[in-house]
Amino acid sequence: MKSVLFALRVSDLERSLAFYGAVGYVNLGKVPFEDGSSLVWLRLPDEQSVSLELVHRPADGPVEVRGFEHFAIEVDSLAETIARLTDNGLAPGEPIVHGPDGPKTAWLTDPDGYRFELVEWPPGGPPSPEN
């Protein structure tokens, strides 16, 4: 088994597409429905297939982010990623270093309030059963 994607319901599709485009996501296409709702599939440049689905259902009213903690994106260099995101008009949080052998992380929040964590793993990569 493997995870395929996760879906986020968004209130303003164009605003969310601009945000996730600034993060670095590539738009793979839109599936429109007759009722005015749509799905948009995105992936990061290094991914082989869709990893994020934006769900836009205007008739369902405002988006309420409840019960969702966050998702994480692995980056090669946290400092370079923060600089690029800032240059693209986004506001990532300050980097946090989790001990001498731990990861470096920073937080970013999308226009609807979904939080995600940017993670730079230390040499050797993320924890695994072999580590």
- Per-residue model confidence (pLDDT) at position 130: 62
| Cα separation values, 71 from 51, 106, 113, 118, Å | 12, 12, 12, 9
Q: From the CA atom positions of the chain, what is the Rg in Å?
A: 16
Q: What is the chain's pLDDT, residue by residue, as a tens digit (131 residues)? A: 778 899 999 999 999 999 999 999 999 999 999 999 999 999 999 999 999 999 999 999 999 998 888 999 999 999 999 999 999 999 999 999 998 888 999 999 999 999 999 999 998 878 776 65
Please state the pTM of the whole predicted model. Answer: 0.89
- Per-residue model confidence (pLDDT) at position 107: 97
Residue 116's Cβ-side half-sphere holds a number of Cα atoms within 13 Å equal to 17
Find out whether 42 and 51 touch, Cβ atoms under 8 Å.
yes
The region that residue 89 occupies, defined by phi over 0 for left and psi between -120 and 50 for alpha, beta otherwise, is left
CATH fold of 6-120: 2,3-Dihydroxybiphenyl 1,2-Dioxygenase; domain 1 (3.10.180)
